[in-house]
Amino acid sequence: MISSLRGRVAVAVGVTALMAGVVGCGADRSGGGSPGERLRQDVEKLHALGISGVQARVIGVDGRESVAVAGSADSSTGSPVDPDGYFRMASTSKTLVATVVLQLAAEGKLGLADTAERWLPGVVRGNGNDGSRISIRQLLQHTAGIHDDLPGYTTAEEYYRQRFDIYDSEQLVARAMTHEPDFAPGTGWAYANTDYVLLGMIVRQVTGRPVHQEIEERILKPIGLEQTRWGGTSPGLPEPHARAYQFFGPDSQVDVTEQVPVDPEVLSWVTTTHDENVFFRALLSGRLLPAPQLTEMKNTVPVAGGLETFWPGGRYGLGLAERPLSCGGSYWGHEGGDGGYITLNGVTGDGRRSVVVSMSEALGDTPEHILAQENSASALIDHALCD
């Protein structure tokens, strides 16, 4: 499961080290019934893993929606999950950032071959890091080699101690620069949140405005995403929303709803299953990018660093991931996980069928539990797109 911020960073590394021999999800086509009934069954299976709350929404080729929920929005009250509840987008917002960067490229305001040094002089430097050798394309595709070093928590005590800490983009990049690169730019692949912190800084340099304002003007308003909001340094979410929980071990379910996102500039977004579906459908159907830039976005390389066993057959483009379907072909999306909110999504290549599942609990105590959650959610995506 792709981790973007606190509470998932350390665990994801442990997962990838233990996943040799994992079989791809979604091949089991048992269950039958209508697509809506299958969605309900898959949502119930996720809840049965111990996940407190689950909501999922499928939009078919005819525009009709199927919605299913399970569990509770608050484990202390048992209140039901709202199918229109907000959740943190986390790493899914990388696709928003990538879309803005590609729009700027289409307008000739930057080039994908431009270096980080050109737009951010002296920022990517030290311990072997060299911004003059790293292109915008490599940042978008996680082939820049920058070692990721975002603050994170792996225990309840760390969560309570760090949850309201605020960092700016420059501080987060400076942390990464204390490490040597993982590999020379363009010679490998490794998922790095710092790549997108840098892209947000580049957008500000190019446009004179923070990236969240560019996202609002270029994406949210044109396609009517009224339930997608930038939260800044607010530690909470709009109502309604499910409480978010992190499972740290036996008898250690912690409410981690209240926290400030590590990088408020780029990753402090909340949304709903409806809006996330609408965004990916608009993107893949060509409503947000000219055809050449959408083609660039879908130009993929194999994932690596252990994620290839987590995403069997997975490939990564420019802020967009591709995964195979059990019924043939592939789908596109970008999952996100942060502070108890774990979301997977998928859309067919023509943008006509899509699905989003959001969970309000992260089973993060063991690699096996994390993998079970990922596999069950991936199976839901596969079933919804193949039915």
Find the length of the chain: 387
Q: Is the pTM of this model over 0.85?
A: yes
Task: Provide the β-strand partners of residue 72.
Answer: 80
pLDDT for residue 266: 87
* CA distances from residue 23 to 28, 313, 328, 338 in whole angstroms, order as listed: 11, 11, 16, 25
pLDDT for residue 194: 98
With a CB cutoff of 8 Å and minimum separation 6, the contacts of 232 are 264, 268
CA 184 to chain centre: 25
Q: What are phi and psi of 241, to 5 degrees?
A: -155, 150
Separation of alpha carbons 345 and 353, rounded Å: 11
Separation of alpha carbons 18 and 370, rounded Å: 11
pLDDT for residue 34: 84
Tell me the one-letter amino acid at 182. D
Q: What is the mean pLDDT of each run of 10 residues along the chain (387 residues)?
A: 43 32 38 82 97 97 96 96 97 98 98 98 98 98 97 92 95 98 98 98 98 98 98 96 91 92 91 98 98 98 87 96 97 93 97 98 85 95 94
With a CB cutoff of 8 Å and minimum separation 6, the contacts of 171 are none
Residue 319 carries which DSSP code? Answer: S
CA 236 to chain centre: 19
Calculate the dihedral angle through the C-alpha atoms of 122, 123, 126, 128, rounding to the nearest 10 degrees: -100
pLDDT for residue 346: 98
What is the helix (H) or strand (E) element at residue 88, kind and residue range? strand 87-88
Separation of alpha carbons 305 and 2, rounded Å: 12
pLDDT for residue 367: 83
Structure tokens of 359?
A: 């969970």
pLDDT for residue 338: 86
pLDDT for residue 32: 57
Separation of alpha carbons 270 and 290, rounded Å: 26
Q: Strand, coil or helix: what is 213?
A: helix
118-154: buried (b, 16+ CB within 10 Å) or exposed (e) per residue? bbbeebbeeeebbbebbbbbbbbbbbbbbbbbbbbbb
Cβ–Cβ under 8 Å, residues 333 and 280: yes
pLDDT for residue 239: 97
